[in-house]
Amino acid sequence: MIDPRQVAASVVGAVDWQSEVSGYCRCPGESLHTHKTGKKDCRVNVDGAPTIYCFHASCAPVVAEANRRLRQELGSPWTLTLPGGKVLRAGDVLQSSGAILPRETVLARAKVEGRHPGEQLILETLVAMAGRFKPELFEKFHWPFGQILSDSPLLVADRDPDDQFRTWLKLWPAHSTVWVGDIYSTGRPEHATHFRPLADWYQIGPAMGNYTCGSAFKPGTFSRSNANCDGTRFLVVESDSLTKDEIGAVFAYLNNRLRYNLHAIIDTAGKSLHGWFDCPRNKVMEDRLKAALTVFGCDPKLFTYSQPVRVPGAWRDGKLQRIVWLKD
Amino acid sequence: MTMDIIAQKLVVRDWPLKEPGDEEFFGYLVALGVFPGGDWEGDRIFPYADFAYGDSYARFRLPYDDGLLEQLQKHLADNLEILAASGSIAVKLWIQLTENGYKVDLP
């Protein structure tokens, strides 16, 4: 029976194992890195769908080829006896709790979710991996609130409420119908007044409520439901557990490493920041992102595209909800 | 219809906010109620609130505080109204215990 860790080492070289199944290694595409390489930038994982993952983006083609080799070499059955006597098999996932997620459970979940078994395995592996590299992510992509403010390509944080609101309106395509209101301003015909074309909002200003949505709506609607979204949408990333100094790492990781286009960061005038990103380009990518962001401490409900979020330019308990970072 | 959540053992957690200045994020408010127990009086019957967030579901034993109960009832009513109107809920709550009572706020 093969030892998966020896196989991994044959692909990536020496591995500094941090657990029975995961360790730091030299990135196979290190020569392509365009930024300084750290010792903890690349990890190899042998459980679930065996994966090499590097925090750098420039090495992606070489890492993809190394992953193909790793998965091919680990394609035959293997077992690994863990401390305590539990046995991990090829295709099982070692979870952060120490429990083993058996491959049969992965298959059963795939059936329930109507998902390809291979994609389900990738998702389950991604959750485990995200837990493993979370500390490094927050260290490497650290982007505290003060730095976000000073890094903004456009100086927006000190603009007045009307200017904040109108600046935010410019994120949207010109034809969009956008909802602005309070969270319960939905569902009855009289709420149609909260769903307006951008041109109307330019005239009205930030006076109709504290919330908006990351999605535009079909003209004439009065209900803020997913069915009434018109397909124009942003992914608004937020967390209820991460502080303003912590969530920036998630924004930076999405923007710099995963190449999700960051448009703006909004200070909710409360405890959190909201990052407005382009949406994942398909359901597979969306499911993967949702799995990872949940592990990082984000609200999985942010993928409900009709979910209300704070709109810039409105006042909240004497504090202004405002854009603090805006793309040029 | 069977639901996984019913099959789980639901631990009723003690109310975590003890002193002015204590605060906590609880999640989406999904239920308020009275937990029946004992002879329908005394310490084993109490008000509770249920919160959901991600894959977690938690029940908290609430203190007898009119202001807190009133605010939670309003937010639950909002969630029910939004659910009927939009097919989802939106009210998730931070609760802070202040010198002047409970402050319940959306993030």
Taking the Cβ of residue B30 and every Cβ of chain A, the question of whether any pair is shorter than 8 Å is answered with no
pLDDT at B3 over 60: no
pLDDT at A1 over 80: no
Q: What is the mean pLDDT of residues A132-154?
A: 95
How far does A285 lie from chain B, in Å, by closest CA? Answer: 19
B84 vs A225: CB contact, 8 Å cut-off? no
B54 vs A224: CB contact, 8 Å cut-off? no
**Candidate from A294, A299, A306 with C-beta closest to B88:** A306
pLDDT at res. A306: 86
Q: Which residues 53-92 of B are in CB contact (within 8 Å) with A?
A: 53-54, 78, 81-82, 84-88, 90-92
Neighbours of A140 (CB within 10 A): 19
Report the distance separating Cα A239 and Cα B92, nearest Å.
Answer: 12
Neighbours of A67 (CB within 10 A): 18
**Spatial contact of B82 and B29, defined as CB atoms under 8 Å apart:** no
One-letter amino acid of A125:
T
pLDDT category at B49 given cuts 50, 70, 90 is very high
What tokens appear for B78 in the block? 């909002």
**Spatial contact of A177 and A195, defined as CB atoms under 8 Å apart:** yes
**Average pLDDT of chain B to the nearest whole number:** 89
pLDDT at A7 over 60: yes
**Spatial contact of A117 and A45, defined as CB atoms under 8 Å apart:** no
Report the distance separating Cα A307 and Cα A305, nearest Å.
Answer: 5
Residue by residue, DSSP assigns A239-286 as: BSSS-HHHHHHHHHIIIIIS-PPEEEEEE-SSS-EEEEEEPPSSHHHH
What tokens appear for A309 in the block? 């979020």
Question: What global pTM score does this model have?
Answer: 0.91
pLDDT at res. A9: 96
* Tens-digit pLDDT profile for residues A197-254: 999 999 999 989 999 999 999 999 999 988 999 988 999 999 999 999 999 999 999 9
Q: Comparing C-alpha atoms, which of B16, B20, B15 is closest to residue B97?
A: B20
pLDDT at res. B44: 82
**Candidate from B25, B28, B86 with C-beta closest to A306:** B86
- In A, minimum Cα distance to B84 occurs at A187
- In B, minimum Cα distance to A268 occurs at B107
pLDDT at res. A195: 97
Best B56, B83, B86 residue to mutate vs chain A (most A CBs within 10 Å):
B86
A240 vs B92: CB contact, 8 Å cut-off? yes
**Candidate from B54, B86, B94 with C-beta closest to A224:** B86
Angle between helix axes A283-296 and A117-140 (nearest 10 degrees) is 40
Q: Which residues contact A317 (CB under 8 A, 6 or more apart)?
A: A269
CA-angle at A235, arms to A230 and A238, nearest 5°? 135
* Tens-digit pLDDT profile for residues A61-101: 999 999 999 999 998 899 999 998 999 999 999 998 899 99
- Report the run of H or E that residue B85 belongs to, with start and end: helix B66-86
**Beta strands B12-13 and B56-61, pairing class:** parallel
pLDDT at res. A157: 92
What tokens appear for A189 in the block? 């015909």
**Average pLDDT of chain A to the nearest whole number:** 94
pLDDT at res. B8: 57
